Amino acid sequence: MASSLVGLAIESPLLLLSLLLLLPLLLLLLRSKRSSNRTNLPPSPPKLPFIGNLHQFGSLPHRALHALSTKYGPLMLLRLGEIRTLVVSSPDTAREIMKTHDQIFANRPSLRSAEIILYDSMDLAFVRYGEHWRQMRKLCIIHLLSAKRVQSYNQVREEEVAIMIQKITQVSLKPSLVDLSEILYSFANDIVCRVVSGKFSREEGRNELFRKLIEENGYLLGGFFVEDYFPSLGWLDKFLKLSARAKRNFKRWDKLLEEVIKEHESREKVKKDDEEEDFVDVLLTLQKDPNMDVALKREHIKALLLDMFAAGTDTTYIVLEWLMAELAKSPNAKRRLQDEVRRTKATKGGMIGAQDLNTMSYLKAVVKEALRLHPPAPLLLPRESTQDCYVKNYFIPQKTRVIINAWAINRDPVLWNSPDEFRPERFLDSSSVDFKGNDFQFIPFGAGRRICPGMQFAVSTLELAVANLVYRFEWELPHGLREEEFDMIEAPGLTTRKREKLMLVAKPCCI
């Protein structure tokens, strides 16, 4: 007994010393195990030094990223310059980002172009997630883009569609093709200008100026700013032309919006009760409302107006152009749509009215199919994670930028038969599938907290325009052009327009 105690007393210092020597190794092993869990990152394509995966974007990033996803999976981690970027290309992974972890991924990254053009990103689309975003979104949903407000603009939509139809009629009487791209863009621009700033914009010749500024915005927001990909080299932007160009465009916007607001303020004193109320009127009224939860500054109003001008015009025009192009090369779908529309007795003096659309199930399917194949923004506006989390068992670190490839998701062959074909009847077979953010295989307007609040306004305009275009005209491809030769290639950009103008033959139809 005594000898054993002596032995223990002798061995204890040796045991203690051994434990002290082993402790750092044990701690290192524990840390390594924990680190291995945290470094279970999504698969990544090979990178180049310094630029990472930037070279793999190509001129049409949604197609390039889709091609990469077929090799590396629906959840890929790229390095775009210095920016860690997660690319999402399947409905399941999109659901985890925009539903399961929606709050974590509801933030927007800081983008230099948005900071310059959109009053330091004080708009709704690019503002960072927080209280200001909540108040701006609440304002838009309740006061600007509610179902009641959207319906209140039915007469405006009908009048603008009638103007568009008259333009096409005048051109169709001549032996020439109709430049439908130009007419549709003018229509989209005019209707948004009227809803946002009133009918006086057209009378004062401002619509064309708005159009030029909107086009410049699209170019700048899709442009390459060094700071967006190499924050440590952001100082280089001040020496590049794009930054100066963005600042010039901002000054032009600010001057124009200030003029519009001042005119509304002066006109408010003599406004008639039956005069149509536009977005500027609504925002100026809310600015004076003492019950508002947030003080609505002039810069907030201007930033929101900028959003409405740009997003409203592009969404309507791009989808309309692609939809009419798809119909022109799909005679069976065109004929079926015409049959449905022409069974309706027009209630607006030879025009289809907004109230006539409710029973047109194939029309609604045609619009959905155009949105599926040609989402206005094929890559949804980027998000950024606000904390560490796991997606599909992969570790996603805080401050990871997220790109959701809506174009790829909308064409997922697992969920869509013949995904690249224009087949509106697929939405008759599955009429419950909608674009309102609950069906993650169909997200042309996004989903979750950041879903586009203006989607119902856009769809209402699309349906009315398309119904009247096929009601009043027979549309044909240019003489001698076969359907398979018809150009359906996209132009590069933040939004995806047709590369070539849509030129068609329009023959007025005797109803």
Distances (CA, A) of 58 to 6, 133, 195, 281, 382: 77, 33, 37, 43, 18
| Paired sense of beta strands 401-404 and 83-88, if any | parallel
Distances (CA, A) of 125 to 136, 225, 350, 490: 10, 19, 39, 24
Q: What is the DSSP string of 105-120?
A: T-B----HHHHHHTTT
Distances (CA, A) of 314 to 68, 214, 494: 28, 9, 10
Is 304 in contact with 445 (CB distance < 8 Å)?
no
Three-state SS at 222:
coil
**At residue 205, what is the residue type?**
G
**At residue 437, what is the residue type?**
G
Residue 211 in tokens:
């159009």
What sign has the CA pseudo-torsion 444, 447, 451, 455?
A: positive
Q: What is the DSSP string of 112-151?
A: HHHHHHTTTTTSSSSSPSSHHHHHHHHHIIIIISSHHHHH
How far is residue 254's CA from residue 262's CA, in Å, rounded to a whole number? 12
Per DSSP (E only), the strands in 149-254 are 178-179
Torsions phi, psi of 215, nearest 5? -60, -40
Is 364 in contact with 463 (CB distance < 8 Å)?
yes
- Determine if residue 193 is labeled as part of a ligand binding site: no
**At residue 144, what is the residue type?**
L
How far is residue 271's CA from residue 288's CA, in Å, rounded to a whole number? 17
How far is residue 315's CA from residue 313's CA, in Å, rounded to a whole number? 6
DSSP class of residue 506 equals E
Annotated binding residues, written as ranges, equal 452
Annotated binding residues for heme, written as ranges, equal 452
